[in-house]
Amino acid sequence: MIPVLEAQERRLVLRGFDHDDAWHLGSMLVELARLREAPVVVDIRRGAQQLFHYALPRSSADNDAWVDRKRRVVERYAESSYLVGARFRAKGTTFERSSRLDPDRYAAHGGSFPILVEGTGAIGSVTVSGLPQAEDHALVVEALERFLAA
């Protein structure tokens, strides 16, 4: 799984990313979630600034808390929250047990992906919460793939 996740990060690199891009990517994610009747929260940040946030029907404040915890992992490691968790599992441990980070503030569960810009690296994050972690991650990846293709 780790090589697949690493390949996604190498492939999903943007030429740039501004406020309008956040709106378009966020709207695309919301539309994909609506089509699937997915009860998710969508969040996009550039640095510390929240550029997009939307909570679909049947999502809850718990999803907002998960968004924050997964986003902090991306901010700290500059890799997807799913990849970070997979790396710990590949070592025979868990993020919660071995990262030495507060599990109330950090969650290496799928759903948060770094916004990667050519020549710059990670400048923010796009996060989804409300589905099982593999599905949260897959939804973000699908949206980024569509965004790059547009």
> Domains of the chain (ranges plus CATH)?
2-149 (3.30.450.150)
Q: Measure the CA–CA gap between 91 and 98, rounded to whole angstroms.
A: 10
pLDDT digits (tens, 9 = 90+) for 43-54: 999 999 999 999
Mean per-residue pLDDT, 58-75: 98
118 Cβ partners below 8 Å, 6+ apart?
13, 14, 15, 16
State the pLDDT at residue 62.
98
pLDDT digits (tens, 9 = 90+) for 115-139: 999 999 999 999 999 999 999 999 9
pTM of the model: 0.96
Tokens of 106: 């950090």
Confidence band (pLDDT; 50, 70, 90) for 33? very high
Q: Measure the CA–CA gap between 54 and 68, rounded to whole angstroms.
A: 14
State the pLDDT at residue 40.
98
Q: Is the Cβ–Cβ distance between 84 and 73 less than 8 Å? A: yes
